[in-house]
Structure 1
Amino acid sequence: MAEDSIENLNQTEIQSNGRQWTASIAVPSSIVDNAQSPELRSYLVGQIARSLVIYNIDEIVVYDEYCIPGTPEQVLLDKRKQTMVQMVRILEYLECPQYLRRFLFPIQKHLQYAGLLNPLESQHHFKESDDTDYREGLVLNKPCKNGGSYVNIGLRYDAQIDRSLMPNVRVTVKLTRKDNPRKMKAIVVSPSEPREKLGIYWGYTIRMANSLNEVLNTCPYDGGYDLKIGTSDKGDVIDNVVRRIPKQYSHLLVVFGGLRGIEAAHESDESLSHVEDTKNLFDFYVNTCPNQGSNTIRTEEAILITLSALRKRLLNRK
C-alpha cells in the first residue's frame, strides 16, 4: 500500500511539471506485407499502436523503404504504397477516441478488421464519467446563437467554443466552464498543450515519408530531431552504450528497419548515397537484442524490445 502511494505521488509530480520533450519512432510500411492475411495485418498494426501508447510515443513515421519512383498517380497504384495507406489509416483509427470514430471514419476496406483490435486505453481516451479539463472533440454543424461553434466532446451535452470553425474538424479543447453540464464552455488549444502543461500523454501523430532521408530530415518540430537512434543487428550492443545516450534532448527519433534492415532503406535512397556507412546517419546505432535465439527479430517485436531498453530515456529522464 505504501509503495502504491509513493508511486502515485511520483506520477503526480511528473505530470504536474508537464513534458516539453517528444519521442518519435519510424517504421517501414513493408512490415505489414509480411503478414499472411488481412486480419493479421490489422492485428500487427494494432500491436504497434499499443507499443506507442505504452511508451508515450508522440509521433510515428511510416516510411517507404523502397523509395518507389514515379508520378503521384503511379505511386498510388503501387501495392506497396497501398500498404502504407492501410497502416496509416488503422493507426489513425486506433488513436482517435472511441466517441468520435463513427463520425471521422466511414466504413472502408482498410478498417475491415479494426473492430477486432485491442483498445489502446490511452490517457486521452476519456470516458463520460471522467472529470478532466481537456478533451478531444468534433466541431458540429449546429447553429450557435451567440456565435462560435458547438463541439461533441463525448459527454451528454455538447460544449460551446468561442470560435466559428468548419464542421467535422477534430479539435482539442480546454473546458473553461463545467459547473452546468448543459452550458459547458471551452476554448480550442493545441493538441500538445495537455502534454506540455500537465504531462498528460495525448496520443500520437502520424507522418508518412517517401524515403529514409525524409524520415530523418523532415521533422515537424522546431529544430528537428536532436537525438537520432538507429536499430540494427549490426549496431553496438545496447548494454554497452545505453549510459552514453543523453537523458536530456528535445526531440528523439528511433528508426526501425524492415525485414532487410535499415541498411536496405539506406541503399534504396539515392539522396543518401554520399553517406557510406548507415551508422553515420545516426547519433547511436544499436543492437537491442544481442545473442538472440531466433534468426530474425520481427519489427513489431523490435519496437517493444527497444523501447523497453530505452525506457529511462523515454518516461523519466531524471
Structure 2
Amino acid sequence: MTRSVLVPSSLVREAEDKREATRKLGYVARAAAVFRADRLGIFADPDGERKWGDGFVETVLRYAATPPYLRKEAFGTRDELEYAGILPPLRVSAWTGSESSGSGSLRQGIVTQVGSDGRVRVNCGLQHPISLHVPPSMAVAEGERVTIRVSSRRPVRAKLVDEPLPGFVVTRTNLRDALDRPDAGYRVATSRHGTPVTVSGLSGIKERVAADGLTVAFGAPGRGLPDILDVDVQEIGAATGSTTVGEGAPTTDAPAGFDAWLNTIPDQGSETVRTEEAMFASLGCLTLTE
C-alpha cells in the first residue's frame, strides 16, 4: 500500500523571507514522515509562485528527507539551504533494529565509486565509506542513492539490498501523471469546498485506503486546489454533495481526476488553514486504522 502526498510549487508563496519559507517546508516534511508517506510530489503552480519557486521548494524538501549523515555528500553548499539548520529532524523510523545505527538497521547510502570487480564504495554514514558487493540483480551508478542493511558495526558487516530507500522520496511531478499511477489508490483533493468528512464516513475511507493506498493533494496559502486547477467550486459541490464519503465506487465525475474532494476540517475555527496544518489534520484522519 503506497501513500503519496502532493503539494504545489507555490507552497511557500506567503513567506516573507527564506528563513520562514524553510521553516514551513520543514513542517511539511515532518507531516510526510509522521504519516509514513512513500512519496512527496511537487506539482507545478507557476501562476501562484512568488519569491520562492519550485527549485527552492524541491531542494529544501529533498534536503529534509535526506539522512543527516548524507547531506554534506549529497548537497554540498547551496544558497537555497542557507537556513537548513532550522529544519526539524525527521527521525524516520525505517530501521529494523532498536536504533538507527543498530544491528540489522536499514540505511541510505550514496555510491561514491564503482569498481570493475563488481564492487562499489558507499558512503552510508559510518566512519568511512565501505566496499560492498553488488548483487547480480542490481545495477548502480556513481552518485546513486542505495539501501544498505547493516548487520554489524564492529566489525562492519553490511550488504546492498534491492529495497526502497528508507523514508520518503521527493520528486517533481505532473499532477495528472501522479493521479494516473497504477498505485495511486484512493485519490483525494483537500478543500474547504469538498464533502465534509464525518465519523460514519471514515469507515468507508479506511477500507478504500487499506485496500488500494492513498494519494492526497493539497493547495497553497490563499490559493486552494480549485484556484490552482481552475475548478469551479460549484462543480465540486455538484459532484460530491449527494454522495456519502467513502462508500461505494469512486466518484467518477469528481473534478480534475480525483475520486473525492474532501473537507477534512469541516468545523475550522480559523478563516484560513495553512498547508502544513491541513496535512496533519487530513493525513491524521485519512490514515486511521482499527
**Structure-1-length-normalised TM-score:** 0.72
- C-alpha distance after superposition, 1:136-158 (max 9, x if no partner): 112233868x6411222222354
Any residues of structure 2 matched to 1:152-231 within 5 Å, and which? 152-163=123-134, 165-175=140-150, 178=152, 181-182=155-156, 184-191=157-164, 202-210=166-174, 212-217=175-180, 219=181, 223-231=182-190
SS of the residue 2:179 aligns to:
helix
Tell me the percent identity.
28
SS of the residue 1:30 aligns to:
coil
SS of the residue 2:268 aligns to:
coil
Structure that is richer in helix per residue: 1
Q: Name the aligned partner's letter for residue 274 of structure 2.
A: R
Q: Name the aligned partner's letter for residue 112 of structure 1.
A: E
Any residues of structure 2 matched to 1:113-152 within 5 Å, and which? 113-124=83-94, 129-141=101-113, 147-152=118-123
Tell me the C-alpha RMSD between the 2 structures.
Answer: 3.0
- Pair 1:249 & 2:211 matched: yes
Shift of 1:105: 0.5
Distance 1:187 1:300 in 2: 35
SS of the residue 2:113 aligns to:
coil
- C-alpha distance after superposition, 1:205-239 (max 9, x if no partner): 122135x424423x3xxx24131111111111111
Q: Name the aligned partner's letter for residue 156 of structure 1.
A: Q
- C-alpha distance after superposition, 1:155-200 (max 9, x if no partner): 235433223843332211234x638615x341242326xxxxxxxx
Verify the 8 A CA contact 2:42 2:173 in the aligned structure 1. yes
- C-alpha distance after superposition, 1:15-39 (max 9, x if no partner): xxxxxx1111111121211111110
Unaligned runs of 5+ in 2: 232-237, 240-252
Distance 2:225 2:254 in 1: 9
- C-alpha distance after superposition, 1:62-99 (max 9, x if no partner): 1123579xxxxxxxxxx659611111111111111111
Distance 1:141 1:186 in 2: 16
**Structure-2-length-normalised TM-score:** 0.79
Distance 1:256 1:128 in 2: 31
Choose from 49, 54, 57 the match for 1:84: 54
Aligned to 2:286: 310
SS of the residue 1:57 aligns to:
coil
Unaligned runs of 5+ in 1: 1-20, 69-78, 193-201, 269-275
Distance 1:282 1:81, change over 3 A: farther
Distance 1:129 1:205, change over 3 A: closer
Count the aligned residue pairs: 262
